[in-house]
Protein backbone atom coordinates (compact mmCIF):
# COMPACT_ATOMS: atom_id res chain seq x y z
CA UNK A 1 0.00 0.00 0.00
CA UNK A 2 1.31 3.44 -0.94
CA UNK A 3 -0.27 6.81 -0.15
CA UNK A 4 0.22 10.45 -1.12
CA UNK A 5 -0.97 13.34 1.03
CA UNK A 6 -1.75 16.39 -1.11
CA UNK A 7 -2.94 19.93 -0.50
CA UNK A 8 -3.32 23.40 -2.03
CA UNK A 9 -1.68 26.53 -0.60
CA UNK A 10 -3.12 29.11 -2.99
CA UNK A 11 -2.97 32.74 -1.92
CA UNK A 12 -1.31 34.31 1.10
CA UNK A 13 -4.20 33.67 3.47
CA UNK A 14 -3.95 29.91 2.89
CA UNK A 15 -0.16 29.64 2.74
CA UNK A 16 -0.07 30.85 6.35
CA UNK A 17 -1.55 27.49 7.42
CA UNK A 18 1.32 25.47 5.92
CA UNK A 19 3.67 25.22 8.94
CA UNK A 20 0.98 23.61 11.13
CA UNK A 21 -0.23 21.46 8.23
CA UNK A 22 3.23 19.99 7.56
CA UNK A 23 3.76 19.42 11.30
CA UNK A 24 0.58 17.34 11.43
CA UNK A 25 1.70 15.33 8.39
CA UNK A 26 5.11 14.83 10.02
CA UNK A 27 3.37 13.19 13.01
CA UNK A 28 1.54 10.55 10.95
CA UNK A 29 2.32 7.05 12.22
CA UNK A 30 1.85 5.63 8.73
CA UNK A 31 4.32 7.68 6.72
CA UNK A 32 3.08 8.89 3.33
CA UNK A 33 5.19 7.96 0.33
CA UNK A 34 4.57 11.37 -1.21
CA UNK A 35 3.67 14.82 0.15
CA UNK A 36 2.63 17.16 -2.64
CA UNK A 37 1.71 20.84 -2.29
CA UNK A 38 0.24 22.86 -5.15
CA UNK A 39 0.77 26.60 -4.85
CA UNK A 40 1.01 29.87 -6.73
CA UNK A 41 4.20 30.82 -4.84
CA UNK A 42 6.76 28.00 -4.64
CA UNK A 43 9.50 30.06 -2.99
CA UNK A 44 7.29 31.20 -0.14
CA UNK A 45 6.05 27.66 0.47
CA UNK A 46 9.60 26.35 0.58
CA UNK A 47 10.43 28.98 3.21
CA UNK A 48 7.39 28.10 5.34
CA UNK A 49 7.70 24.33 5.69
CA UNK A 50 10.00 21.85 7.34
CA UNK A 51 11.15 19.67 4.47
CA UNK A 52 10.07 16.03 4.86
CA UNK A 53 11.15 13.02 2.73
CA UNK A 54 9.02 12.66 -0.38
CA UNK A 55 7.91 16.30 -0.45
CA UNK A 56 7.21 18.02 -3.77
CA UNK A 57 5.97 21.57 -4.29
CA UNK A 58 4.40 22.20 -7.68
CA UNK A 59 3.44 25.53 -9.18
CA UNK A 60 -0.14 25.76 -10.28
CA UNK A 61 -0.72 27.84 -13.38
CA UNK A 62 -4.49 27.50 -13.23
CA UNK A 63 -6.57 30.62 -12.75
CA UNK A 64 -9.57 29.10 -10.96
CA UNK A 65 -12.88 30.68 -11.84
CA UNK A 66 -14.81 29.55 -8.79
CA UNK A 67 -12.66 27.91 -6.15
CA UNK A 68 -8.84 27.73 -5.78
CA UNK A 69 -9.14 24.23 -4.31
CA UNK A 70 -9.51 22.92 -7.88
CA UNK A 71 -5.74 23.48 -8.13
CA UNK A 72 -5.36 20.24 -6.17
CA UNK A 73 -5.57 18.55 -9.57
CA UNK A 74 -2.06 19.88 -10.26
CA UNK A 75 -0.81 18.13 -7.11
CA UNK A 76 -2.56 14.85 -7.85
CA UNK A 77 -1.07 14.74 -11.35
CA UNK A 78 2.28 14.17 -9.60
CA UNK A 79 0.98 11.20 -7.57
CA UNK A 80 2.45 7.75 -8.16
CA UNK A 81 0.84 6.16 -5.09
CA UNK A 82 -2.18 3.86 -4.90
CA UNK A 83 -4.04 6.10 -2.45
CA UNK A 84 -4.55 9.88 -2.34
CA UNK A 85 -5.42 11.80 0.83
CA UNK A 86 -6.45 15.37 -0.03
CA UNK A 87 -6.00 17.13 3.29
CA UNK A 88 -6.90 20.81 3.01
CA UNK A 89 -4.10 23.10 4.18
CA UNK A 90 -6.29 24.61 6.91
CA UNK A 91 -7.21 21.20 8.38
CA UNK A 92 -5.17 19.00 10.74
CA UNK A 93 -4.79 15.29 10.11
CA UNK A 94 -4.45 13.11 13.23
CA UNK A 95 -1.44 10.77 13.70
CA UNK A 96 -3.46 7.54 13.36
CA UNK A 97 -5.47 8.63 10.30
CA UNK A 98 -3.74 6.46 7.68
CA UNK A 99 -3.17 3.39 9.88
CA UNK A 100 -6.21 1.41 8.66
CA UNK A 101 -5.81 2.28 5.00
CA UNK A 102 -3.83 -0.85 4.14
CA UNK A 103 -6.79 -3.02 5.27
CA UNK A 104 -9.43 -1.06 3.35
CA UNK A 105 -11.10 -3.11 0.61
CA UNK A 106 -13.16 -0.19 -0.69
CA UNK A 107 -12.14 2.68 -2.95
CA UNK A 108 -12.94 5.56 -0.58
CA UNK A 109 -12.03 5.40 3.11
CA UNK A 110 -14.40 7.86 4.74
CA UNK A 111 -12.75 9.81 7.54
CA UNK A 112 -14.50 11.00 10.68
CA UNK A 113 -13.84 14.62 11.66
CA UNK A 114 -13.62 16.91 14.64
CA UNK A 115 -15.67 20.09 14.05
CA UNK A 116 -15.38 22.64 16.82
CA UNK A 117 -16.43 20.78 19.99
CA UNK A 118 -18.18 17.99 18.09
CA UNK A 119 -16.95 14.64 16.80
CA UNK A 120 -18.66 13.70 13.54
CA UNK A 121 -18.04 10.02 12.71
CA UNK A 122 -18.11 8.78 9.13
CA UNK A 123 -21.47 7.42 8.04
CA UNK A 124 -21.96 3.99 6.50
CA UNK A 125 -23.10 4.82 2.97
CA UNK A 126 -23.45 3.01 -0.34
CA UNK A 127 -22.81 4.22 -3.86
CA UNK A 128 -26.58 4.57 -4.19
CA UNK A 129 -26.76 6.82 -1.12
CA UNK A 130 -24.14 9.14 -2.60
CA UNK A 131 -25.89 9.23 -5.98
CA UNK A 132 -29.36 10.02 -4.69
CA UNK A 133 -28.78 12.27 -1.65
CA UNK A 134 -28.37 16.02 -2.30
CA UNK A 135 -26.36 16.46 0.92
CA UNK A 136 -22.65 15.75 1.22
CA UNK A 137 -22.18 12.32 2.82
CA UNK A 138 -18.36 12.07 2.68
CA UNK A 139 -15.96 14.45 4.43
CA UNK A 140 -13.52 16.14 2.09
CA UNK A 141 -10.24 14.78 3.50
CA UNK A 142 -11.23 11.13 3.03
CA UNK A 143 -8.58 9.10 1.15
CA UNK A 144 -9.47 7.59 -2.22
CA UNK A 145 -7.75 5.29 -4.66
CA UNK A 146 -5.83 7.09 -7.39
CA UNK A 147 -8.01 5.61 -10.15
CA UNK A 148 -11.04 7.44 -8.72
CA UNK A 149 -9.44 10.79 -9.53
CA UNK A 150 -8.18 9.60 -12.91
CA UNK A 151 -11.75 8.84 -13.96
CA UNK A 152 -13.08 12.21 -12.79
CA UNK A 153 -10.76 14.96 -11.44
CA UNK A 154 -12.02 17.79 -9.27
CA UNK A 155 -14.20 20.31 -11.10
CA UNK A 156 -13.86 24.09 -10.87
CA UNK A 157 -16.97 24.72 -8.81
CA UNK A 158 -17.79 25.89 -5.31
CA UNK A 159 -18.98 22.44 -4.12
CA UNK A 160 -16.20 20.51 -5.85
CA UNK A 161 -15.82 18.01 -2.97
CA UNK A 162 -19.49 17.06 -3.07
CA UNK A 163 -19.39 16.57 -6.82
CA UNK A 164 -16.17 14.57 -6.64
CA UNK A 165 -17.84 11.91 -4.48
CA UNK A 166 -20.90 11.78 -6.74
CA UNK A 167 -18.68 11.23 -9.78
CA UNK A 168 -16.73 8.60 -7.84
CA UNK A 169 -19.92 6.71 -7.03
CA UNK A 170 -21.11 6.98 -10.63
CA UNK A 171 -17.82 5.45 -11.76
CA UNK A 172 -18.19 2.49 -9.43
CA UNK A 173 -16.27 3.51 -6.30
CA UNK A 174 -17.15 1.65 -3.09
CA UNK A 175 -17.23 3.45 0.26
CA UNK A 176 -16.04 2.29 3.67
CA UNK A 177 -16.39 4.22 6.94
CA UNK A 178 -13.48 4.76 9.28
CA UNK A 179 -14.29 3.76 12.87
CA UNK A 180 -12.49 6.80 14.28
CA UNK A 181 -12.10 10.58 14.15
CA UNK A 182 -9.26 11.21 11.74
CA UNK A 183 -8.77 14.96 11.29
CA UNK A 184 -9.87 18.32 12.58
CA UNK A 185 -11.80 20.66 10.33
CA UNK A 186 -10.43 24.02 11.40
CA UNK A 187 -13.08 26.74 11.68
CA UNK A 188 -12.00 30.24 10.67
CA UNK A 189 -13.29 33.28 8.84
CA UNK A 190 -12.29 32.09 5.37
CA UNK A 191 -14.02 28.68 5.44
CA UNK A 192 -15.94 28.25 2.19
CA UNK A 193 -18.52 26.08 3.97
CA UNK A 194 -19.13 28.82 6.55
CA UNK A 195 -19.78 31.43 3.86
CA UNK A 196 -21.47 29.33 1.20
CA UNK A 197 -25.12 29.07 0.20
CA UNK A 198 -25.80 25.41 1.03
CA UNK A 199 -29.23 25.51 -0.63
CA UNK A 200 -27.57 26.61 -3.87
CA UNK A 201 -24.97 23.84 -3.59
CA UNK A 202 -27.69 21.23 -3.06
CA UNK A 203 -29.52 22.54 -6.11
CA UNK A 204 -26.37 22.10 -8.20
CA UNK A 205 -25.91 18.58 -6.84
CA UNK A 206 -29.53 17.62 -7.55
CA UNK A 207 -29.14 18.75 -11.14
CA UNK A 208 -26.09 16.51 -11.61
CA UNK A 209 -27.85 13.61 -9.93
CA UNK A 210 -30.83 14.04 -12.23
CA UNK A 211 -28.48 13.86 -15.21
CA UNK A 212 -27.29 10.50 -13.83
CA UNK A 213 -30.84 9.26 -13.22
CA UNK A 214 -30.50 6.35 -15.64
CA UNK A 215 -27.68 4.84 -13.60
CA UNK A 216 -28.64 1.65 -11.73
CA UNK A 217 -28.18 2.34 -8.02
CA UNK A 218 -26.78 -0.30 -5.67
- pLDDT tens-digit series, residues 7-34: 999 888 889 999 999 999 999 999 999 9
* Mean pLDDT calculated for residue range 175-189: 89
Among 82, 97, 108, CA closest to 176? 108
* Mean pLDDT calculated for residue range 197-209: 73
Q: How does pLDDT run across 55-81, given as a tens digit for each residue?
A: 999 998 766 656 778 889 999 999 999
Q: How does pLDDT run across 114-161, given as a tens digit for each residue?
A: 998 999 999 999 999 998 887 889 999 999 999 999 999 999 887 788
Q: Which domains are present in the chain? A: 3-211 (3.90.550.10)
Q: Which residues contact 213 (CB under 8 A, 6 or more apart)?
A: none
Is residue 211 pLDDT above 80, yes or no? Answer: no
Is residue 215 pLDDT above 60, yes or no? Answer: no
* Mean pLDDT calculated for residue range 194-214: 69
CB-neighbour burial class of residue 189 (10 A; exposed 0-12, middle 13-18, buried 19+): exposed
Amino acid sequence: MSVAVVTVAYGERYRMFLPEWIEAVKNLRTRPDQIIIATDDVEECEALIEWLPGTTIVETLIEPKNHPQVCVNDAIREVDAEWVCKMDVDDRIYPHALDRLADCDADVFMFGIRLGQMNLPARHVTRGDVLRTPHNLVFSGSPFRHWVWKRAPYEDMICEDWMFWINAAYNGARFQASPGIDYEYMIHGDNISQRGDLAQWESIVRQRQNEMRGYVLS
